[in-house]
Amino acid sequence: MTAAERDLDALIVGNIGDLEASMKRAKESIDERLNKAAWEELKRALGDDNWYYEDGDDLGDAWFAPRAWLIEDEDGDFDADPWFRFKPIDAKREFDSWLAHYVAPKSNRQQIALVWCWHRFYVNDYKAAVDEVEDQIAAITDLGFHRDGRELFLPLSFDTDALVEGFQVDDLTEALEPIADGANVLKNALSHFSAFRTELLAKAR
């Protein structure tokens, strides 16, 4: 064990009470407040006219989609396929709190992101659809979305100092500005996503 590791262990042992209290506070209070404010900022940035939002008990359950993509079932409930989520690709796999995804991601897959989602299409259909819309996907990635296998997502980078100040003054508006920036990127990319969706639907079984 290195000297740095010994020092770290000693620091943790000496502060374990505060660390446990901090993590409890992060998961039970900070996560809820931060996610709620971020979700509301996303709604504000995209607007209600052209977008539908489905709130969830957890950030990973909430989703949104263009109203033009909605499907209404016999009970009057709405669904969409594809749709988008506001969450990391690797949500909470290594972190115990959502807060860590905002301020301490280890990769772009752990960053809070705008994520393109779908579930009714088989892999072979997906690959065939991709072949037909490579230009559209290239345009999407040129605008800032990342492509990782079948994933298309736009990581959002948050400034830790701005979030710290936001919690100190009880105003997260400035700290959440990256969400508005991401919403503008998504708006610019939407026509390309719509073309991709059309191709997926054409090849769905």
Q: How far is CA 135 from CA 68, 149, 192, 195, 196, in A?
A: 22, 16, 9, 10, 10
129, pLDDT greater than 90: no
Residue 173 has what pLDDT? 95
> How high is the mean pLDDT of the chain?
89
Domain that holds residue 123: 3-203
For 88-118, what is each residue's pLDDT tens digit? Answer: 998 767 788 999 999 999 999 999 999 999 8
Residue with tokens 């109203």: 67
The proportion of the chain whose per-residue pLDDT surpasses 70, expressed as a percent, equals 93
Asked if 54 and 64 count as a contact pair (C-beta separation under 8 A), the reply is yes
Give the span between the Cα atoms of 74 and 89, in whole angstroms: 32
Asked if 113 and 153 count as a contact pair (C-beta separation under 8 A), the reply is yes
Q: What angle do CA 17, 19, 21 make, to 5 degrees?
A: 70
User: Which residues, at least 6 apart from 66, have a Cβ–Cβ distance to it below 8 Å?
Assistant: 50, 51, 52, 80, 190, 194
- Number of domain units in the chain: 1
Residue 76 has what pLDDT? 67
1, pLDDT greater than 70: yes
Amino acid, single-letter form, for residue 170: D
